[in-house]
Amino acid sequence: MESGSGNCRGFLTPARGRAFDEGFGFRKNEGMSPAELKESIHAVTPAHLKERLSGLGHPAYRADQVLEWVYSKRVDGFAAMTNLPAALRASLEEHFVFHALETVRVLGAEDITRKYLFRLSDGAMVESVLIPASPALYGEASDRRTLCVSTQVGCAYGCKFCASGLDGWSRNLTPGEIVGQILQAEKQSGERVSNLVFMGMGEPLANFKNLSLALEILNAPWGVGIGARRITISTSGLAPQIRELAEQSMQVRLAVSLHGARNEVRQQIMPVNRKYPLEDLLDACEYYAERKKQRITFEYILIREVNDTLEDAKALVEVARRVDAKVNCIPYNKVEGLDWVRPEESRQDAFMAVLKRAGVTATIRREKGHDIAAACGQLRRQTMAPAVAE
């Protein structure tokens, strides 16, 4: 199958990182400017906003009006909320902030994959990728406009093949910054995003609390209104958080970056496998599938002479059967500075044939936009380079 969709990765590079911190990353107060101490208006639920407004002496029902301006009318500031009393607008101005992401660069054009480089309020940058119509990948319906979003600046998990982990982890994105990527991409493109994949920079489940609030806002009818089944969370395999996500009522889809169906192969390229080996991961996957009554997807990057033998394919058949998972194979996207390469097509075909013969539901993504995508990797790297030079 040919498509430019499915994996917007391999070309996202991080800012220089600080040490790993498992914290949930609501920003600390030290050193923050007064503007940053304000709460992001893109990170509040109606219940929370009602409580805040009541506390500030305003009627609670105004919260619904405020959120209507934010999400239905998509205004950029409180001044535009013309049906609200001036005193309320002043109060909102004082306590809340529109943390709009700043678009630094856009690559691509209408009808093809577009990549946005966004600057966050502290100067860190993340990329989001807008992928136009393509056949269904994760959802049931055809994927219309799918946005691939980031959840962290950098990544602490250090998978050996991935650009995001190269320079470590800087920080978690706030809920407002996660939601902000969708709002900004929609504003920039003039189109509504119908599907979301959390496959940008970072490990979504390591930013669980912020991710959960962002998901609530993205899914809510009063918010961005994207159906849960049109949202896919991709994880490198944090077993406890997979279970935690399974407990939540929202029917989001789960994609697990497997990339190795045997421990000895997987832990060679994914250090997280030492913490959560395949047995634990597969148990958690089974739990998720069972709780949500859903089939999960295993992502499997094909890397030449690392995980692409027929023996690997047979092992993948076993684990896919065990969890009744779909498999999405992705020929590796070259990352500058890393030696890994994709197998030649005949080898990819032989690998796929093993899966198909065994009756596993499997697709392979041969991305047309490989070169454009690679150029996009340079986009962030080039733009970041002066800022991160030591």
Chain residues binding ligand SAH by CB under 6 A are: 7, 9-10, 161-162, 199, 203, 234-236, 257, 299, 301, 330, 332-333, 335
Of the residues 8, 127, 155, 203, only one is catalytic, namely 127
Helix axes 208-219, 239-247, angle to 10 degrees: 30
Q: Is 153 in the site for ligand SF4 (CB under 6 A)?
A: no
If contact means CB under 5 to 8 A according to the sort of partner, which of ligand SAH, ligand SF4, none does residue 7 touch? ligand SAH
Q: Is 127 in the site for ligand SF4 (CB under 6 A)?
A: no
Binding mask 190-219 for ligand SF4 (x = CB under 6 A): ------------xx----------------
Nearer Cβ to ligand SF4 (98/298): 298
If contact means CB under 5 to 8 A according to the sort of partner, which of ligand SF4, ligand SAH, none does residue 165 touch? ligand SF4
If contact means CB under 5 to 8 A according to the sort of partner, which of ligand SF4, ligand SAH, none does residue 219 touch? none
User: In the annotation, is 110 catalytic?
Assistant: no
Of the residues 203, 299, 376, 390, only one is catalytic, namely 376
Distance CA 181, CA 174 (A): 11
Residue from 10, 132, 165, 260 binding ligand SF4 (CB under 6 A): 165
**Among the residues of the chain, which ranges form H helices?**
34-37, 46-55, 62-67, 86-95, 175-189, 208-219, 239-247, 263-269, 272-275, 278-292, 310-323, 345-357, 370-388
Nearer Cβ to ligand SAH (174/257): 257
Q: Please report the DSSP string for 47-115 in residue order.
A: HHHHHHHHHTTS-TTHHHHHHIIIIIS--SSGGG-TTS-HHHHHHHHHHEE--PPEEEEEES-TTS-EE
Instruction: Compute φ and ψ for 93, nearest 5 degrees.
Output: -55, -40
Cβ neighbours of residue 68 under 8 Å, at least 6 residues apart? 222
Q: Is 139 in the site for ligand SF4 (CB under 6 A)?
A: no
User: In the annotation, is 127 catalytic?
Assistant: yes
- For the chain, what is the radius of gyration of the CA atoms? 21
Which residues are known to be catalytic?
A: 127, 376
Binding site for ligand SF4 (CB under 6 A): 155, 157-159, 162, 164-165, 202-203, 236, 257
